[in-house]
């Protein structure tokens, strides 16, 4: 079972939006900490209303490296969205990252319709950054 399968199972039992919202915040609280030194302008994600930082590291071969991500935000709900993005993408190969549609996963979680336009745009900016890092890892 993948992290996304676990997440989908968790969300299936949460009927109401308030419970799902609280669960997203809880995921953010459980996010691995991003070292203070990585809270830099270079790691900052543009297009987010809240402050968001994402770093990536690669391992494995150069033809399809595996990416792992760390991140942080100054807003709890956004930290939760970062955690969801990492559940979707972290530990995957660059090609898997590029082939995976996070919007589809958000829809299956029942989150897509509940996020404000600003949060949806911010999430899209995070995904764009993650995919950009994957593209860079492939073409190192």
Q: State the Cα–Cα distance between residues 54 and 104, nearest whole angstrom.
A: 21
Q: Running DSSP on this structure, what letter comes out for residue 51? A: -
48 in catalytic set? yes
Residue whose C-alpha is closest to residue 84's, from 35, 51, 119: 119
H or E segment and range at residue 92: strand 92-93
3-class secondary-structure state, position 1: coil
CA distances from residue 38 to 41, 45, 54 in whole angstroms, order as listed = 9, 12, 8
Q: What beta strand segments (E) does the chain contain?
A: 52-59, 66-73, 92-93
Tokens of 109: 């979680």
* Of 109, 41, 56, the residue nearest 81 (C-alpha): 109
Residue of 7, 34, 48, 81 marked catalytic: 48
Task: Give the residue numbers marked as catalytic.
Answer: 48
């Amino acid at each position: 079972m993948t992290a996304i399968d676990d997440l989908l199972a968790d969300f299936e039992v949460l009927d109401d939006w308030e419970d799902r919202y609280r669960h997203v915040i809880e995921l953010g609280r459980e996010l691995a900490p991003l070292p203070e030194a990585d809270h830099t302008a270079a790691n900052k994600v543009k297009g987010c209303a809240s402050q968001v930082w994402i770093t990536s590291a690669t391992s494995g071969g150069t033809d399809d490296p595996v990416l792992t991500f760390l991140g942080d935000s100054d807003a709890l709900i956004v930290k939760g969205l970062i955690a969801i993005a990492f559940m979707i993408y972290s530990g995957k190969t660059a090609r898997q990252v590029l082939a995976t549609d996070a919007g589809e996963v958000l829809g299956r979680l029942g989150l897509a319709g509940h996020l404000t336009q600003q949060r949806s745009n911010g999430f899209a900016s995070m995904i764009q950054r993650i995919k950009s890092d994957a593209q860079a890892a492939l073409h190192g």
